[in-house]
Structure 1
Amino acid sequence: MYEPLAALTELIRDNNGINDKARLAKIVADRFGLTKDRSVYYCADYAIRFSSSSSRNFGNTILSLSNLRKYDDRPFIVCLVTPAQNFLLIANTTFLKKISHSSQELRENNIRGSFNGSDIMREFEGIENCAENIVRLFDIHAGIGFEDNLPRLVEATNNISPSGVKFGVDDAARNNILSSPSRALRFVASQDASALKSELDAKVAKYRNEILLAALIENVNVRGRIIEYLIAGDDEGLRQRLIAALKSGENGLPAFKTDNALSDYQRQFEAYDTETDVKTKIMILNSNPKAYNLDKMLQFLASDRSVFMFYFVGVDPGKIVNTVLVSMFQSDLLEATILLRHWAGRNSRGVSQFEGRAINDLIEKPSIEIDEPKAIGFLERVIAL
């Protein structure tokens, strides 16, 4: 993806001042062999829509939400042609504030309406929406996708009151939350942590072949849910149906819905109550996996026995690279945690993601290090949201 986008950016920059969106569209389409679908030009690596305005502020209708859905699995770029300069914006669903045009009947089961240039966020969590940041922003979007963005867009477009509840942090909860890095430090150095990792490693070993088959599934959300269920699911009948479908090579997989819980695997020890979220990382792919809902995380950590862990399974074609069990406060992981406040509903502190490259590094070079002061500072920032 990086090289095609770099080449696209360079060509569009070289044509600054062309002030003719039709000419620029033809130049780009001819150079890169793009396919035209009405107003959208696309290839496997990206899709692009050309628009024009006298300035960077533009309210032109860009595309219908139903058509955007077709291209939301790759960077969807809007090229704004102005008299002096051409500007690139990423306009996947994560970066839309709402749907403006003919959107009165927009519902989760009724995809209607179009978005305008003014609906595209110019900044996302402190990251400017510009050509230089398209790859970085798309990595964030890829971890969310169309289906998870749709409820937010429906709510924002129709001004629906959000259903989420922001967790209220009283003094007792705050003390327990801010002491959770200290609990995590004790836990990761204990035999309990070794026992937890051994349990999860045994499940990975047991279902190794099925995990490798599931790793071939293209849809990142389906792939992750299946592998995580193989490892941590509690319905053995469903697990066996998934295994049978994977081994048969059939296209259809059993329909199942995972709980919208904080983690996949709960385990109680004498001094700790642990929640462990299982995450699969395909090592050759760049993606930012979902991390956790900030309010659910705070609510769990408000208990004086709580320890929140992540179990990462690194997968390469044909082999499992490594498995790693770390605290949510592990230093490299915490540094790679992205807080997504804009994406969340108004009654929520937001959600978080991990930068995928940091996960790769952690899988290849495991570390359980925790910087307690930094972890406390992180929690204080989240509480204040």
Structure 2
Amino acid sequence: MFTTAWTAAPQLPAEGFTPNRSREGFWRQSLRQTVRVSAGGDRLRVRLSNDYGFSPLRIAGATVARAAAGAAVEPGSVRRLEFEGAYAVAVPARGSVLSDPAGLTLAAGESLTVTLHLNAVTGPATFHAQAFTTAYRGPGDLLDDVTGDGFEESDESWYFLSAVETDAGRGDAVALFGDSVTDGFGSTPGADRRWSDALAELTGRPVLNAGIGGNLLLNDSAWYGESGVHRLARDVLRHPGVDTLVVLLGLNDIGFSETREQPTYHPAPVVEADELIDGHRALIRQARADGLRVIGSTLLPFGGSDHWGEHAAKVSHEVNEWIRASGEWDAVVDLAVALADPADPDRLHPAYDFGDHLHPNDAGYAVMAEAVAELL
């Protein structure tokens, strides 16, 4: 039985708020990307996404290996991926492919590299904008490059890679579904200090990160992905082994209407609490229909941030009270209380504030994981 051990939610190619190559794509290059798996095993499978491609994505070859420092991999650990018995594969436009199982023993918490040789022009690349870890690229076929010396350029996005599964035989994976807070903005890059990482370490359970920076519950965005109500099936429900969903989403729906100079999301409709409640109910229905236990999280305090304003304050308070008191969730984690400044509950505790009064730091993400772990 294969269990999802790592995920990144696919996004439409966009400049976004992180320098990336999604619009340019790749040609005659190799791309090496590192991920941390939350479930071990002796075999693994890799899912490649062309969800936003207009033509087939041609992969000339792909390998996996245990990660070493930088772009290097552990000698002797390189395994060639096959797709229905072939080394090359064409990922259909608006689709994805899952590799055949490859024999490579990994422990939970270990880092894996996935290297793709892209010999044909890819066109704009389906990607995940904010990886908070380094992805490497270099010219030619570098599938078997152990030293990493051939990889001359880097950035901090994941391209085409959307999931890794292992034969852990686990059916107790937890999916965290949200925006930049779930994605890990404010955590230390390269250190795996997102709250998904912390939760996996605390519980020993596989944890999927289905966050997208800037994501909204109700509306699609060119930079910030499809809305939560539209993407849940793809980014959580299709992945094997998940039995619990944790939802932390809606703050951008509220806050973007307050950020008057925000260039990336226009128009920014002014939403009311009942609209967000309906959106959360849609997520609950979808997840329950798939047999998942659904945990609702209150929105984090964001007073003093660029998302804060009179209307935002009113709506966030109303939504949080509904999450706490409605009885519509299987359980509720009150992260608004857990991360609040005792002197001003509308603000993040200074010890947990990344600095923008909106995102937690490493310590804040650890507190979030501890609060959810108590419910699992």
Larger radius of gyration: 1
TM beyond 0.5: no
More helix by share: 1
More strand by share: 2
Larger relative CO (CA 8 A, sep 6+): 1 or 2? Answer: 2
**Please, what TM-score do these two structures have when normalized by structure 2?**
0.30
**Please, what TM-score do these two structures have when normalized by structure 1?**
0.29
